[in-house]
């Protein structure tokens, strides 16, 4: 019978090749946000549909404005063979909005070309389809300009809990800024 050679002895905490296991090795780079990876991941898919820059899709609301972005989205850009100018932008438009949007096409072409920095789009075609409405941006309510009345401010300073004090100051400021009784319904 043939005997097997004894197994190689490894040091504690080391793998077969003398390296630390993956969970113990520090990462070369820290964790990255998904948004940072998206241009690399989506580049091939965007180019397939004619988007030279993926940012036209991601920044569509900034390019044409929120009102237009809620009713239309870019589907593709097709350029003449061998050129990167004078292309045709295809938009997916919500049902019933195409006649109104047709009047805005020169403005949309101007805005898209301004975004690219050259005359990338010469023509726009529209296709009816479903457009997902974007979630509204939530902004904090505006700060009240009137200060908290002095008689309320002195009594609030004695409260030890800072969170409770902040809530009561906000309530006092809201009462100070209101005029008359609150309206219900």
Between 57 and 184, the more confident residue is: 57
More confident residue, 4 or 143: 4
What's the confidence (pLDDT) of residue 100? 92
Q: Domain map of the chain by residue range?
A: 34-128, 141-176
Q: What pLDDT sits at residue 142? A: 57
Rounded average pLDDT over 160-176: 78
Give pLDDT tens digits for 14-46.
555 555 555 666 666 667 666 566 655 555 655
Mean pLDDT score across all residues of the chain: 75
**Residue whose structure tokens are 């300009």:** 145
Are residues 120 and 80 in contact, defined by beta-carbon separation less than 8 angstroms?
no
Q: What is the predicted pLDDT for the residue at 91?
A: 93
34-128: CATH architecture = 2-Layer Sandwich (3.30)
pLDDT of residue 94: 92
Compute the average pLDDT of residues 124-151.
Answer: 71
- Give the integer Cα–Cα distance in Å for 61 and 56: 9
Q: Considering Cα of 135, then 123, then 55, then 113, what sign does the dihedral take?
A: negative
Q: How many CB atoms lie within 10 A of CB 158?
A: 7
- Give residue 108's pLDDT band: very low, low, confident or very high (50, 70, 90): very high
Q: Are 120 and 51 in contact (CB under 8 A)?
A: no
C-beta of residue 88 within 8 angstroms of C-beta of residue 123: yes
């Amino acid at each position: 019978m043939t005997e097997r050679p004894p197994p190689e002895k490894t040091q504690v905490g080391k793998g077969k090749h003398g390296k630390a296991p993956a969970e113990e090795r520090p990462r070369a780079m820290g964790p990255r946000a998904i948004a940072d990876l998206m241009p690399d991941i989506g580049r091939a898919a965007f180019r397939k549909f004619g988007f030279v820059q993926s940012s036209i899709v991601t920044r569509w609301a900034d390019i044409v404005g929120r009102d237009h972005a809620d009713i239309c989205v870019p589907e593709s850009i097709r350029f003449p063979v061998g050129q990167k100018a004078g292309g045709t932008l295809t938009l997916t438009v919500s049902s019933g909005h195409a006649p109104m949007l047709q009047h805005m096409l020169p403005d949309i072409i101007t805005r898209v070309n301004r975004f690219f920095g050259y005359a990338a789009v010469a023509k726009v075609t529209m296709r009816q389809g479903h457009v997902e409405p974007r979630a509204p941006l939530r902004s904090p309510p505006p700060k009240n300009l009137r200060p908290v009345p002095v008689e309320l401010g002195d009594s609030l300073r004695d409260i030890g809990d800072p969170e409770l004090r902040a809530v009561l100051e906000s309530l006092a400021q809201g009462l100070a800024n209101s005029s008359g009784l609150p309206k219900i319904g």
